[in-house]
């Protein structure tokens, strides 16, 4: 699809998300269109069912189908399989980063933190579907640095029961932090602060 079609699309299926993961979804990407979602099995959604923008705010809804043989049920924990709660938090960060790109941000995404995380339920192998609902509280594009920042409050449901909340989740999109030449050494081969003084 074209970049303009990407910016206007309100939902994405699994095939489209995979194409985004591998950088093949947009046929005419602008310079610095570098952000990616994690590849499976770490991709934490099977579809994005709704993207809405309303000024600096908006809304995101996405779903993940639960699979009996999911990698995390094999190791977390033997004899007591449960999806790690941190993966739900990461799903919120993944979706916030995608939203930034959908709003026109250019660069590479990084999770920046969150406020309170509260769990009152769990995801087991015979559950069917996890739904992520995020209210975007603030989306900002910083013209001086070219960075984009987003803050959102997320709710996680399994089979329509709310099991977790993530408040003030934060993600950013930054230019010139990508490490495309992995595993070769380059200026981005070592982590630490995302912006360094030269």
Q: Which residues are catalytic?
A: 76
**How would DSSP label each residue in the chain?**
--HHHHHH---B-HHHHHHHHTT-S-SSPPTTB---PPPTTS---SEEEEEEEETTEEEEEEEEE--TT-HHHHHS-TTS----HHHHHHHHHHHHHHHHHHTT--BEEEEEE-S-EEE-----TT--EEEEEEEEEEEEE-TTT--EEEEEEEEEEETTEEEEEEEEEEEEEESS---TTTTS--TTSS-S-SS---
User: Shortest CA distance to 83 belongs to which of 124, 144, 116?
Assistant: 124
């Amino acid at each position: 699809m074209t970049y303009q079609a990407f910016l206007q699309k309100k939902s994405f299926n699994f095939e489209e998300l995979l194409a985004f993961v591998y950088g093949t979804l947009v046929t005419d990407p602008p310079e610095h269109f570098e952000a990616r979602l994690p590849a499976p099995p770490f991709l934490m959604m099977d579809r994005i069912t709704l993207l809405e923008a309303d000024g600096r705010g908006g809304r995101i809804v996405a779903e993940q189908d639960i699979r009996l043989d999911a990698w995390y049920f094999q190791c977390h924990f033997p004899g007591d399989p449960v999806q790690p709660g941190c993966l739900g938090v990461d799903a919120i960060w993944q979706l916030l980063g995608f939203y930034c790109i959908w709003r026109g941000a250019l660069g590479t995404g990084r999770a920046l933190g969150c406020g309170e995380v509260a769990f009152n339920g769990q995801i087991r192998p015979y559950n069917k579907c996890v739904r992520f609902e995020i209210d975007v509280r603030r989306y900002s594009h910083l013209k001086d640095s070219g960075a984009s920042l987003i803050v959102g409050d997320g709710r996680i449901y399994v089979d329509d029961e709310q099991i977790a909340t993530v408040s003030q989740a934060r993600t950013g999109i930054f230019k010139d932090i990508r490490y495309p030449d992995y595993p070769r050494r380059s200026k981005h081969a070592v982590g630490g602060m995302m912006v360094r003084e030269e």
